[in-house]
Each structure stands twice: as C-alpha cells, then as structure tokens.
Amino acid sequence: MSGYLIDGLQYVNWSEKVFRQLREGGVDAIHVTISYHENFRETVLNFEKWNRWFEQYPDLIMKGQWASDIDVARETGRTAVFFGFQNPSPIEDDIGLVEILHTLGARFMQLTYNNQSLLATGCYEDEDAGITRMGKQVIKEMNRVGLVVDMSHSADRSTIEAAEISERPIAITHANPHEWQPALRNKRESVIRAVTENGGMLGFSVYPHHLKDKSDCTLDSFCEMIARTAEKYGAEHLGIGTDLCQDQPDSIVEWMRVGRWTKEIDYGEGSASNPGFPPMPSWFEDNRHFGNIRQGLSATGLSADEIDGIMGGNWYRFFAENFTPKG
C-alpha cells in the first residue's frame, strides 16, 4: 500500500457522487466541517445526517474516531470521516459540552470563525485581545478529552497564545503562509513558528482566495510554496487541508461568512461583484486530483518520505497522538 492520503479539511456538498470521487482519488481520511454557526442541538442534527450517510454508503465511507480507523478504512476500501467545527458555537457557553461533543465524534474545534468569540479573536477583527478567560479553560478541557484546538480563522496573537497555552499540539487545518499570498486568513511567520515549534500542524489550502493568483495559481507555485515552508519549519509539521467546498450553492458562502451575527452581507475575502465560490484551479477541482499535488511535490526536491508525510502521514501521526483522552 502507498502512503496515507488524508485531507485536513473539507466542506463539500456531500453526495454519493462525491463519496465515489473520494474512493477514485484514494483518499483514506478527511476532516469534515459539520458546524459553522450551529448551536449544540443543530450540530447534533448534522451528526444524525452523517449517521444516515454511513448507513446508506457503507462500502464508501465510515465514521472515523481514532487514527486506527484510517487503517480499517484502507483495508476495506473506504474513506474514514472525522468531524470538526469551524466555530465554538456548538459548545454555546457550556464547557461541559466539550466532552459530550468529543463523545459524539468531534475531533477538531476552531476557537473562532473570523469574528471575536467567547474564547478568542478572529482574523477579521481590528483588535486582537488574545485568549479569553473562558478560552483558557476550554483549551484545558479540549486537551483533556482529545478535541484538537484549530486556529485556522483566528487572529495572530490569539493563535500564538493558543499554541503556547495548549498542553497538546494545535492545528491550523487550512491556510497558507501570508508571505506567499497576503490574504487576511493566511498565517504570518511568527504564527506558523509558534504552532510548529509546539508540535502542531499546518494544512495547506487550495481555496482560491488563499492562493497566489487566486484561481489562476499554478501547481508549480503551490508546490514550491510547500517546499519552502518545509525548509523553514520542518516537513513533519505540514499536511494538506484543501478547504474544498465542491458543489456548494452560493447561499452556503453567505451562511459561512454571515451566520447569525449580522443582517448585512459580509463578503469577507470575496467581493460584492463575485460573492460566491471562486472557480478552483484546474489542477485541483475535486478529490480525484490529489495525485497532481503529489506529482508536483516530487518536482520540488522534497524526499519521498517528506512527500508521504505531507500527503497524509503527518496527519495520521497527529490524529494518533491527539484524539485520545489524556491518560
């Protein structure tokens, strides 16, 4: 068997077609967003929806809870699905829900989604006050139960503090270096360094707003960016987190960006003239195209072991070390 193929973040409009593309692409595991702004009860309904899909397509997908489930998926020709939240809204204002949600199968939770939350500051706010009092307690509880701290949409100070406060490594599941493409959501050197020096992971995104030249970004440019990042921070801390939003209607973009916090449309890194999803680069349109990334990386001078790690081995190790409760 070849090395693991694991995607650190997707938010696709799921269907049998996409589940079959996962298998055609040889994807062993994915981290799937099942909450943006949903409260606890609404998030439970999303778990229910996935349970029905696991029943409907048992030959294609299975629920992932532990790294060992990825091996089961590989042996049975399926994709293991791990769940995460892009916002702490599922815990509402109740720290006790952290453990409940981990028990249900959640394995990642962002402390913010662009805005200030009860826990930390999002990357779109003018002032970054860092991790809040509640945030420190929630990080401690997440560490205890095995729910990974994800800072993909968080501001710089908050992310650095989270990396230092957390007793277990944290993740930026889907973003790119700010120096390569200065999007608000991409991460500055001090942020990536804090995360990786504390054992954490950075997953590279192919979401066009976070790519140099947006939808016209070349495969060479993307893979060269990964290779340069590996030189600076160590290839063992890197993975792929595509942020693939395949087949989603534009109304979903609105839900992602606006949620319930405003009655106005906030286009974020989109524009008023093009508020929907931008076209994907030609070399990565769906889950069948991971081979293009692997091929592109092999042209950068990275070793075969480093490439295997970036394509999934590093995520596997990270899952194995961080999803289990503290002994």
Cβ atoms of 202 and 229 closer than 8 Å:
yes
pLDDT at 1: 59
77 burial via Cβ count (<10 Å: 0-12, 13-18, 19+): exposed
Output the pLDDT for position 268.
61
Residue 75, helix vs strand vs coil: helix
pLDDT at 254: 87
For residue 308, how far is the Cα from the chain centroid? Answer: 19
Q: Is residue 1 part of a domain?
A: no
pTM of structure: 0.96
| 3-state SS class at 50 | helix
Per-residue model confidence (pLDDT) at position 147: 98
pLDDT at position 275 is 64
Give pLDDT, residue 101: 98
- The residues that bridge with 122 in the sheet, in sequence order, are 154
Partners of 31 in the β-ladder: 82
* Nearest Cα to Cα of residue 252 among 30, 36, 84: 36
User: Max Cα separation, the chain?
Assistant: 52
How much is the pLDDT for 235? 98
Residue 76 in domain: yes
Residue 284 lies in a domain: yes
Q: For residue 39, what are the CA distances in angstroms to 44, 281, 303? A: 9, 34, 44
Which pLDDT does position 180 carry in this prediction? 98
Q: Are 149 and 181 in contact (CB under 8 A)?
A: no
Please state whether beta strands 79-85 and 61-63 pair in parallel, antiparallel, or not at all (unpaired): parallel
Q: Would you give the end-to-end CA distance of the chain in angstroms?
A: 32
Q: Which helix (H) or strand (E) holds 84?
A: strand 79-85
Token pair for residue 69?
A: 């489930």
Token output for 94? 């109740």
Determine the pLDDT at residue 229. 98
What contacts 283, CB < 8 A, 6 or more positions away? 218, 219, 222, 289, 292, 293, 296
Q: How many domains does the structure of the chain reveal? A: 1
The pLDDT value given to residue 220: 98
CATH number at residue 317: 3.20.20.140
Q: Do residues 19 and 79 lie in contact, with contact meaning Cβ atoms separated by under 8 Å?
A: yes
- pLDDT for 272 equals 47
Bridging pattern class, strands 29-35 and 201-204: unpaired
62 belongs to a structural domain:
yes
Find the domain containing 104 and state its range: 6-322
Say which residues have a Cβ less than 8 Å from residue 150's Cβ, sequence separation at least 6: 84, 86, 108, 109, 110, 111, 170, 171, 172, 173
Binned average pLDDT, 10 residues per bin, the chain of 327 residues: 91 97 98 97 98 98 98 98 98 98 98 97 97 98 98 98 98 98 96 98 97 97 98 98 94 88 74 70 98 97 97 98 93
Domain annotation covers residue 327: no
pLDDT of 2 reads: 72
